[in-house]
């Protein structure tokens, strides 16, 4: 069952989603957005607008394709940013959110990648999309999109039950080396970001875990706490409640720097394994968006993300904000994609 804290966070997310669904962002059935605040005329002159952007841009709603269902932190955060941009820039037309669920995100990712590159279609671009882009013939990928910004990054985490005998990632890995296939570790997918992280640690160390896939994070934590699993590999945000309740302990985290939420916990790299696990959540578009328009969108999203009111809302919602420029996001995605490509060539997962 969900505890009171988890319920309150979910309730807050739902309230935010519902409120912004009615103001300036359109709806899931693709209805036009309504003007927000003072946005009743054509786009006003803005210091964020580079030279070369058409004077009337946007002269219609900008569609944002979300490859999953409504109600997630990313869905809520995008709506907050989108509403702020429309008010801030005085646009007559804003953003409309379209949900294209299915095939573990592939339907939505293909949809925005195949759209006309005119600046009127954007999409949710998480780093997880790069896994299938490497192993399948799809329309999206690190070299097949225009990069706008990164909104948030959720580091991976490998952990165990709070009273486990393992107190470091090295101890867990050494046990897996000494007992090949005997140390169990729970993931939501053996060919998702978590499963590939475990594979990379195995390759870096010579260990062999027994990966067990579950339908969701809650089942994994129940198995760890119930002594049916030795460890888990998920994201820090998945484990927050269990960490605060003292039910699990994190052995290492997946970003290149220590998590501000867990400053005393080493990273995978500090533990001796040159592996990164970072679930980045970007905003992208089809390849070929004219650079002035792409840059204008980047400028708008960064300005909105840096607004004190928006930052306060994000903090209240415990969103792991990590605002990066389009160029910074592109560099990260290409590096991640190359890591997956090399792993796939050595150990294909299809």
Secondary structure (DSSP) of 191-252: TSHHHHHHHHHHHHH----EEEE-SSHHHHHHHHHTTS-SEEEEEHHHHHHHHHTTSEEEEE
Band of pLDDT at residue 73, cut at 50, 70 and 90: confident
Burial tier of 9 (Cβ tally within 10 Å: 0-12, 13-18, 19+)? middle
pLDDT at 167: 97
Q: For all residues of the chain together, what is the average pLDDT?
A: 88
Beta bridge pairs of residue 250: 159
Q: Give CATH 3.40.190.10 domain extents, the chain.
A: 155-278
**Does the pLDDT at position 95 exceed 50?**
yes
Does domain 155-278 fall under CATH 3.40.640.10? My reply is no
Band of pLDDT at residue 189, cut at 50, 70 and 90: confident
Q: Give CATH 3.40.190.150 domain extents, the chain.
A: 4-153+279-346
Model pTM? Answer: 0.78
CATH topology of domain 4-153+279-346: D-Maltodextrin-Binding Protein; domain 2 (3.40.190)
């Amino acid at each position: 069952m969900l505890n009171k804290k988890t319920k309150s966070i979910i309730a807050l997310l739902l309230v935010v989603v519902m409120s912004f669904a009615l103001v300036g962002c359109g709806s899931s059935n693709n209805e036009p957005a309504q003007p927000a605040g003072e946005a009743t005329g054509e786009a006003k002159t803005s210091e964020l607008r580079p030279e070369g952007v058409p004077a009337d841009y946007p002269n219609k709603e900008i569609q944002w394709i979300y490859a999953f269902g409504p109600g997630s932190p990313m869905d809520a955060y995008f709506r907050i940013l989108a509403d702020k941009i429309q008010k801030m820039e005085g646009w007559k037309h804003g953003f409309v959110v379209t949900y294209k669920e299915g095939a573990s995100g592939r339907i939505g990712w293909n949809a925005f990648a195949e759209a006309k590159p005119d600046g009127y279609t954007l999409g949710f671009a998480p780093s997880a999309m790069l896994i299938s882009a490497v192993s399948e013939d799809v329309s999206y990928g690190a070299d097949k999109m225009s990069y706008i910004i990164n909104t948030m990054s959720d580091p991976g985490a490998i952990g165990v039950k709070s009273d486990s005998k393992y107190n470091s990632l090295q101890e867990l890995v050494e046990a897996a080396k000494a007992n090949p296939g005997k140390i169990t570790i729970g993931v939501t997918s053996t060919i998702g970001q978590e499963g590939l992280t475990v594979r990379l640690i195995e390759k870096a160390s010579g260990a062999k875990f027994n990966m067990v896939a579950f339908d969701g994070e809650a089942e994994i934590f129940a198995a760890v706490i119930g002594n049916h699993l030795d460890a888990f590999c998920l994201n820090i945000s998945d484990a927050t409640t269990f960490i605060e309740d003292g039910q699990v302990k994190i052995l290492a985290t997946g970003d290149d720097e220590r998590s501000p939420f867990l400053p005393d916990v080493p990273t995978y790299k500090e533990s001796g394994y040159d592996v990164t696990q970072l679930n980045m959540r970007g905003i992208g578009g089809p390849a070929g968006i004219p650079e002035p328009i792409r840059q204008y969108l980047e400028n708008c999203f960064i300005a909105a993300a840096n607004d004190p009111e928006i930052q306060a809302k994000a903090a209240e919602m415990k969103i792991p904000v990590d605002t990066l420029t389009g160029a910074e996001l592109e560099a990260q995605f290409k590096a991640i994609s190359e890591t997956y490509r090399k792993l796939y060539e050595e150990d294909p997962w299809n």
